[in-house]
Structure formats: C-alpha cells, structure tokens
C-alpha cells in the first residue's frame, strides 16, 4: 500500500482515502446526479456496479466502498430507486440497506427498521458468501438496540464469511460500550479476545486503539473535573500498550494493507497527540499525506482544522 510520501500534501477530507477508483466514481456520481435527468438512477447504478463488481471476494475493499458510497448517496433517492427497479440485484439491495443505516445514524433512528432488515436478508440470500449484508444488519442491530443474543447471532454470520471484517468489529465495539447499553468490562473482554487471536496487520487492527479513544471521549463528554484530567487516560497501562503496539508497526512500509488503513492512521495520529507523544505522531502524519477522516478529529471542532493544527504541532515537536 503506497500511502507513504515525503511530499506535504494539502490537508483535506478524503472519504475514499487512497482508493483512486472510488475517488473517480464519486466525482462521476456528482456529475451524474447534478444532471437531474430521468436516467440518473440508471447511470448511477451502472457506474456503481462497475466498481463493486471489481475484485470479487475482496470483502475488505467491498465493505469500504459500500460504506463510503452509502454515506455519499444518503441524501439522494438513488439507492431506493435502484433497489426498487432491481429487487434481485445484490449490489442495489446492499447499498440501499447501508444507505438506510447511514440515514439512521444521522437522523436518530431508522425510517423503517423492518424494511431494512428485510433488504439485508434478501441480499444475503442472493449472495450467501458475501459478508456485507450481514455487516449492514449488524449496524441495524446496533441502532435498534437488539438484545445481545440476536446481535451476536448476526455477528457470527459476518465472521463465518470474513473473519477480520473491520466494519463489523468496530460496530460490535460500539454496541458493547456503556453508552450503547453494554459495559466497560464487555469492551475489555471483547478487545482482549480479539488481540489474542488477530494478526497484527488485520483489517480490524484498529479496534483496540479505537476502544481507547472511545473511552477517552467518554471522559471528555462527562465534563467538569473528569474532562480536565482526561489526558491521564493515556498514561494507563492498557492505553499505553495499545499506543505502543500501533506506533511501533503501523507506519512501517507495507505493514497495513487494508482498504481503510489511512482511517486507522488518523486514529493513531489523534491518540498520539492526545497522549502528548508528538514526536511519534510526526511520521504518522507524514504517512497520511493530508488525508483526514472526520472521526475522531471532529469531537473537538472542525476535523480539517484540528488535523492541520495537530500536524503542525507534531512537526514542530512541541
């Protein structure tokens, strides 16, 4: 994966990360949806299908692309129209389900949970080997606060198809947090079990560090004295261990190869700066080349501005 570069690039939000084919598609979709013609849905569907049909069996790349496309199209009727026109097209159904999930995240809940569940299950029936319908359903379980036996049933369906699916691990991590109905102990057990078995460069390698950032944010959200001393979180043994493990390996050329590696490097850069480990953060920012993800930078303010300021501080080593 060629994300290392010595040339300073413009700081920018880059939902596609370093996926150039996805970047081209997003630009093409923007041009197509702006036309507002009767054939808009057909044109978008053809463009999306060409990309999603690439690299069959690369579930990591497929999950990344569907996630980005769902967010990009969530304010349009494209996916609903496509799924209605082609009710047996797996790409259409999966993308529509993920789009409903994205709308649910931003709108405080799903418009029609039963319909979204049905869409996921129909897609899963059409492509039994594909984990992405089950990942979408896991996100439904999270939004709808399904009971743990139900949620873990869906979780097992994902793992049976893609053992280290990044989006599934992060979704389950969120489901298990105290803020969503789980507990800190469940989070710790989940992360410990993963760390004991997971390859160091698996697509879900960022789960452990994400758990630490979520806990740090929970302290900030409480306000008062706990927020004032939240930085102490990064001196605790588990947080130090997670940071040491990531900082020592992730920036090595070729170590991280999964589709959302740059998103994980954003998490690492953020955590190192929060822990005041600025010198270690500098090579991470260099590897990122200016590519910014909204989370976790948006928690404090504008993500691009926060990223840029942190990058400058890391470069100065102060």
- The full set of domain ranges for the chain reads 1-13+164-318, 36-162
Q: What is the CATH number of domain 36-162?
A: 1.25.40.10
Predicted pLDDT at 148: 95
Q: Is 153 exposed, middle or buried (0-12, 13-18, 19+ CB in 10 A)?
A: middle
Predicted pLDDT at 267: 98
Instruction: Please report the DSSP string for 151-208 in residue order.
Output: HHHHHHHHHHH-TT-HHHHHHHHHHHSGGGT--HHHHHHHHHHHHHHS-TTSTTTTHH
Predicted pLDDT at 35: 65
Predicted pLDDT at 39: 72
Predicted pLDDT at 74: 93
SS (H, E, C) 33-56: HHHCCCCHHHHHHHHHHHHHCCCC
Taking the C-alpha atoms of residue 275 and residue 232, their distance in angstroms, rounded to an integer, is 8
Closest by Cα among 150, 173, 187, 178 to 295? 173
Predicted pLDDT at 4: 46
Closest by Cα among 69, 67, 72, 99 to 83? 99
Predicted pLDDT at 6: 43
Give me 71's structure tokens: 């967010």
| Residue numbers of the chain with a pLDDT score lower than 50 | 1-7
Taking the C-alpha atoms of residue 267 and residue 261, their distance in angstroms, rounded to an integer, is 10
What confidence tens digit (pLDDT) does each residue in 297-315 have?
Answer: 998 899 999 999 999 999 9
Torsion of CA 23, 280, 268, 198, to 10 degrees: 110
């Amino acid at each position: 994966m060629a994300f290392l570069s010595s040339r300073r690039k413009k700081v920018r939000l880059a939902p596609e990360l370093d996926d150039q084919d996805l970047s081209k598609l997003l630009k093409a979709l923007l041009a197509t949806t702006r036309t507002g013609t009767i054939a808009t849905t057909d044109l978008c569907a053809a463009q999306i299908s060409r990309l999603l049909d690439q690299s069959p069996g690369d579930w990591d790349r497929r999950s990344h692309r569907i996630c980005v496309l769902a967010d990009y199209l969530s304010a349009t009727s494209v996916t609903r129209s496509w799924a209605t026109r082609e009710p047996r097209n797996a790409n259409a159904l999966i993308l529509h389900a993920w789009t409903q999930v994205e709308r649910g995240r931003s709108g405080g809940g799903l418009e029609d949970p039963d319909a979204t569940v049905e869409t996921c299950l129909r897609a899963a029936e059409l492509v039994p080997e594909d984990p992405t319908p089950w990942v979408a359903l896991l996100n439904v379980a999270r939004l709808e606060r399904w009971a743990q036996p139900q949620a873990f049933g869906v979780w097992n369906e994902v793992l049976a198809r893609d053992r280290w699916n990044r989006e599934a691990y992060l979704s389950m991590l969120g489901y298990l947090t105290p803020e969503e109905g789980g507990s800190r102990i469940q989070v710790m057990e989940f992360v410990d079990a993963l760390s004991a078995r997971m390859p160091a460069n698996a697509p879900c390698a960022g789960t452990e560090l994400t758990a630490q950032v979520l806990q740090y944010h929970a302290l900030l959200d409480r306000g008062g004295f706990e927020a004032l001393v939240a930085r102490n979180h990064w001196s605790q043994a588990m947080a130090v261990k997670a940071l040491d493990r990531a900082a020592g390996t992730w920036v090595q050329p070729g170590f991280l190869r999964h589709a959302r590696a740059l998103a994980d490097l954003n998490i690492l850069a953020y955590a190192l700066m929060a822990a005041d480990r600025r010198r270690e953060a500098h090579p991470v920012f260099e590897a990122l080349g200016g590519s910014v993800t909204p989370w976790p930078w948006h928690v404090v303010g504008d993500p691009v501005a926060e990223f840029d300021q942190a990058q400058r501080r890391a470069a100065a080593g102060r």
